[in-house]
Amino acid sequence: ARRSWRERLSGSGFAKSLGALFVRHPRLDDDLLDELETALITADVGVEASTNLVEALRKRMHAREFADANALLGALRQALIAQLVPVQQPLDVSGHKPFVVLTVGINGVGKTTTIGKLARRYRDEGRSVLLAAGDTFRAAAVNQLKTWGERNQVPVIAQGQDADSASVIFDALQAGRSRGSDVLIADTAGRLHTQGGLMDELGKIARVLKKLDPAAPHEVLMVIDGTTGQNAVSQVRQFRQIVGVTGLVVTKLDGTAKGGVVFALAREFGLPIRYVGLGETATDLRQFDAEAFVDGLLP
Ligand code: GDP
């Protein structure tokens, strides 16, 4: 499993630029550290975080702690892993029945794909899964979810055009309870006419769910696109003002030069990173693993 992270991430722009840097610059000196700082900033790790990280390494280098560039690379690895370990908190869906996952995030980030991948994962774990087509703002989203459900024998609760999202998700929770489903994954709109509209809708969904289960939703999972770098960070900032996000999924980390955003997210929000998307197929959604991720990025 570790090897597959490497396969997926080693082709990414971030891993390539770090790899090239250490080949081009095998000598341990300040130039290497300057270039490392540039590589980290370019990968959207964040300016302050990159500077802090590199300055800490520089001090240790000047104190002659590192015998060679390899030793420095080892220290960098440890420092990067240490930043991500606190957000490596897997989602446990066994505590409620059904366990309600509300997925949020703007259109195009891979939300529908992620819902499909999650449904597959939980089904393969032997759980019964129910989906709610709550993105009633886009007819295409409802159809995409239905098609996916048919193909994978996972039931999808949907209503007609222009249905009320909260009512679809409320019905789905009722259905999930009467069927004894283990997990309910609800889609929501990624964009309404106004931010206020989205806030009202997500608020209403949470309110009606609580009528059936005061603890629901048990997870508000925000999906963000890793290729958008710092933009993903500002999306999380915005959504957190709308709804209480409890976990993140970072998609499309395969092949992106902006994978450093994972560090920026960990640092800024400390929210659990539940899963990362390393490709388009069902098994490419991985439970987040700090060590495997960092090892995939480093040469
Ligand atoms: P939505 O609008 O947020 O529901 O986005 P979709 O689920 O329709 O996904 C948008 C595109 O991103 C699709 O072409 C997906 O196949 C692709 N995608 C989603 N996750 C990943 C991933 O982890 N890696 C890659 N390479 N593509 C992904």
Give 55-89 as a 3 state SS string.
HHHHHHHHCCCCCCHHHHHHHHHHHHHHHHHHHCC
**Cβ–ligand 1 contact at 280 (below 6 Å):** yes
In the chain, pLDDT over 90 holds for what percent of residues?
A: 83
Q: Give the pLDDT of residue 1.
A: 65
Q: Give the pLDDT of residue 10.
A: 86
Query: Residues of 176-204 as b/e, b for ≥16 C-beta within 10 angstroms?
Result: beeeebbbbbbbbbbebeeeeebeebbeb
The residues facing 129 across adjacent strands are 183
Could you tell me the two tokens for 140? 């295409």
| 134 assigned ligand-binding residue | no
Tell me how far apart the alpha carbons of residues 197 and 199 are, in angstroms, rounded to a whole number: 5
Collect all residues with Cβ–Cβ distance below 8 Å to 113 and sequence separation of at least 6: 251, 277, 280
| The residue to which tokens 């300016």 are assigned | 47
Sheet (strand 99-104) strand order: 156-157, 129-132, 183-186, 99-104, 219-225, 247-251, 273-277, 285-287
User: If DSSP codes are grouped into helix, strand and coil, which group holds residue 287?
Assistant: strand
Task: Tell me, rounded to whole angstroms, the distance of Cα 27 from its chain centroid.
Answer: 36
Tell me how far apart the alpha carbons of residues 279 and 117 are, in angstroms, rounded to a whole number: 11
Give the ipTM.
0.98
Question: pTM for the full model?
Answer: 0.95
pLDDT reading at 220 higher than 70: yes
Q: Average pLDDT, stretch 47-65?
A: 96
| 200 assigned ligand-binding residue | no
Asked if 153 and 160 count as a contact pair (C-beta separation under 8 A), the reply is: no
**Cβ–ligand 1 contact at 110 (below 6 Å):** yes
Could you tell me the two tokens for 94? 């066994």
pLDDT tens string 88-144: 999 999 999 999 999 999 999 999 999 999 999 999 999 999 999 999 988 899 999
The closest of 287, 270, 244, 240 to 83, measured between CA atoms, is 270
**143: CA distance to ligand 1 center in Å?**
16
Q: What is the DSSP letter of 286?
A: E
**279: CA distance to ligand 1 center in Å?**
9
**Cβ–ligand 1 contact at 259 (below 6 Å):** no
Number of helices and strands (H, E) in the chain?
A: 12, 8
Q: Average pLDDT, stretch 275-280?
A: 94
Largest CA distance in the chain: 68
pLDDT grade for 12, boundaries at 50, 70 and 90: confident
| 108 assigned ligand-binding residue | yes
**220: CA distance to ligand 1 center in Å?**
19
Tell me how far apart the alpha carbons of residues 203 and 158 are, in angstroms, rounded to a whole number: 20
Could you tell me the two tokens for 33? 């550290």
